[in-house]
């Protein structure tokens, strides 16, 4: 219990993770959280086989809390790429303990990873966009396809304000690539509202957020950002911002 409380305490030097909880902000978060719950309840009722892709970022922890706290019949799964930060694995363990649940974890196919590394090198994703996308595909996209098999809909924690590639993100859309419905319940949430929810409901989150990592992926492809920098600046920082997607959410 002491470990969990320590982990939930915001770092004093990162204002992004501890917004001032004004009455207006609290009211906004409660209203949006109620809308998220209603959306997910309707999805379960109408589509039945619904799953949630949890990458353990701040947004995903909000959805995890909504789903588990309200006992929604939505499966939660995660993609373990084999290159995640230690802090992400720590959070996975804390989530299972905090919510008394078990997560479904999908891994990349070992033979594909072995061939890629043998052919291109252990950190080949730095060498070209093509090699980086190949790495993302084998570690994320292919496992995602297995995770979504047999499902009618999946839920993500994406927000429209996160990146230039997501500015017109709808709350609900048809995922043509995977042939099923896709829900983005936090599409219109601000970063401040996400962190306000986490503070209001004492939700566990990745310790890297307090070290100025607003967006967290694989360890070699994620870095901290400077105050004022775009929240996705730390992801694949060597690439053009208009190209910063791993392939999980790219439309055909």
Residues near 235 by beta carbon (within 8 Å), at least 6 away in sequence: 215, 217, 221, 222, 244
136 tagged catalytic: no
Residue 124, CB half-sphere, CA atoms under 13 Å: how many? 16
- Which is catalytic among the residues 135, 136, 218, 246? 246
Give the separation between CA 185 and CA 208, rounded to whole angstroms: 24
Residue 140, CB half-sphere, CA atoms under 13 Å: how many? 19
Give the separation between CA 21 and CA 18, rounded to whole angstroms: 8
Give the separation between CA 161 and CA 121, rounded to whole angstroms: 35
**Spatial CA neighbour of 223 closest among 235, 241, 210:** 235
- Ordered DSSP codes for 185-242: TTTT--HHHHHHHHHHTT----GGGGGT-SS---GGGB----TTS-TTTTBSTTS-GG
Positions marked catalytic? 246
């Amino acid at each position: 219990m002491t470990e969990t409380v320590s982990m939930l305490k915001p770092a004093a030097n990162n204002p992004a993770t501890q917004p001032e909880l004004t009455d207006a902000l609290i009211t906004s978060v409660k209203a949006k959280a109620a809308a998220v719950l209603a959306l997910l309840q309707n999805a379960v009722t109408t589509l039945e086989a619904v799953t949630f892709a949890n990458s353990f970022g701040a947004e995903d922890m909000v959805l995890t809390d909504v789903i588990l706290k309200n006992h929604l019949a939505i499966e939660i799964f995660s993609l373990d790429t084999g290159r995640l930060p230690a802090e992400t694995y720590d959070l996975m363990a804390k989530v299972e303990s905090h919510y008394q649940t078990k997560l479904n974890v999908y891994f990349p196919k070992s033979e594909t990873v072995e061939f890629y590394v043998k052919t291109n090198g252990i950190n080949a994703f730095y060498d070209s966009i093509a090699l980086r996308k190949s790495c993302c595909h084998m570690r994320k996209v292919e496992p995602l396809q297995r995770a979504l098999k047999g499902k009618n809909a999946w839920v993500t924690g994406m927000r429209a304000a996160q990146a230039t590639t997501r500015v017109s993100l709808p709350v609900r859309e048809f995922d043509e690539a995977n042939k099923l419905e896709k829900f983005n319940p936090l599409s219109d949430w601000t970063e401040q509202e996400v962190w306000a929810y986490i503070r209001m409901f004492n939700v566990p989150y990745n310790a890297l957020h307090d070290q100025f990592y607003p967006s967290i992926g694989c360890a070699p492809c994620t870095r901290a950002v400077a105050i004022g920098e775009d929240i996705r600046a730390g992801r694949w920082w060597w690439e053009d911002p208009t190209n910063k997607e791993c392939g999980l959410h790219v439309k055909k």
